[in-house]
Amino acid sequence: MPSSPHFVAKMLAVAMSKSTQFSALTNLANLTEEDLKYRYEHKIGNHTVSKIRQRAYVLNALNDNPADVAAKEILFKMLHCSASRPCKKPYCPMCRFNRQEEFSNEMLAAFSHLPASQLRFLTILHHIEYNAAAIVHDTIKDLNKKIRNLLNEFESDQNYKIQLLGAFEIEVFPAGAVLSDRKLLSLTPLNLQPTNNSPFFLLHFHAVVNLGSCPDTKLLSAFKSKGQYPNKYQVLLQPLYSTKTVSDNLSTLAKYMLKFRLQYSKPTSAVGQNQLFARTCYASLYSSPIAKSIVMLAQRCNNFNGLTFSRM
């Protein structure tokens, strides 16, 4: 049986024996023929070189401990991912690209016929964890239920219908991360421990919302009521960009929600043009143990299926 431990161990041994190919992955000057094929068959979208580098970096991070069977199973699936047998891991560039495209299509099918005036980009900051292992599938399920219950109650009290399509995201801040004033203000009430110099994980949620006829203020106060999300900057409801079409907005946002970033943010002085995305720049890859922990974390949360959210 393909799933027996013996089979997995044997296949892992085969994968590991290709170690020359594997270590070559880390050096862009030495891209293997297989990776060049992967790149040039247009399976991973834009920024191919950096995506291939990130893939190699994830594979190496997963390969840090020969005894870690769970990590090696992911590594094996990513290493042998192909169009006919996709690994469906969020940190695999091809599978992420395909899921982003699918999600963008779902978003367009759901909302592109609606006027921008009733669509919003919702962000909810949940809380901060210092122990990545504490974040499991049930953590996400609980947050999912909390949002659904709140909206069910809101709709039964008021005569509105709220639709959401989105995803949970877990952003990692490395040890000693420099936080902007805005981040400090928004994160301090969510269990940020300013003297704790460990990496931390911010659980948050993004969605496109169809407000229907509901005013922003009513939905916002529903989120803040009953002590659910009481803090400043914890819930944001932002309009779409007026300079772009509704479809372009929806597609960009859908892909943004499933970015599964491997780089950490630094505050910049950039102001103006693109307020949703321009506050930070993303330059530095996480350290290898952090990269491994977020890959394992996504796996524990059931990857794309566990982290996406639909309330239509």
Binding-site ranges for Zn ion (CB under 5 A) = 81, 86-87, 92, 94-95
Give the residue with the Cβ less far from Zn ion, 95 or 291: 95
Confirm if 299 and 74 have CB atoms less than 8 A apart: yes
Give the residue with the Cβ less far from Zn ion, 76 or 201: 76
Closest distance of CB 261 from Zn ion, Å: 17
Give the residue with the Cβ less far from Zn ion, 70 or 283: 70
Residue 109: CB atoms within 10 A of its CB come to 12
Q: Which of 158, 269, 164, 167 is nearest to 215 (CA)?
A: 158
Give the residue with the Cβ less far from Zn ion, 45 or 86: 86
Q: Cα–Cα distance between 71 and 81 in angstroms, integer? A: 15
Residue 200: phi and psi, rounded to 5, are -140, 165
Give the residue with the Cβ less far from Zn ion, 77 or 126: 77
Closest distance of CB 128 from Zn ion, Å: 30
Confirm if 279 and 296 have CB atoms less than 8 A apart: no
Q: How far is it between the farthest Cα atoms of the chain?
A: 63
- Residue 277's contacts (CB-CB under 8 Å, 6 or more residues apart) are 256
Confirm if 65 and 72 have CB atoms less than 8 A apart: no
Closest distance of CB 254 from Zn ion, Å: 19
Closest distance of CB 94 from Zn ion, Å: 5
Closest distance of CB 229 from Zn ion, Å: 35
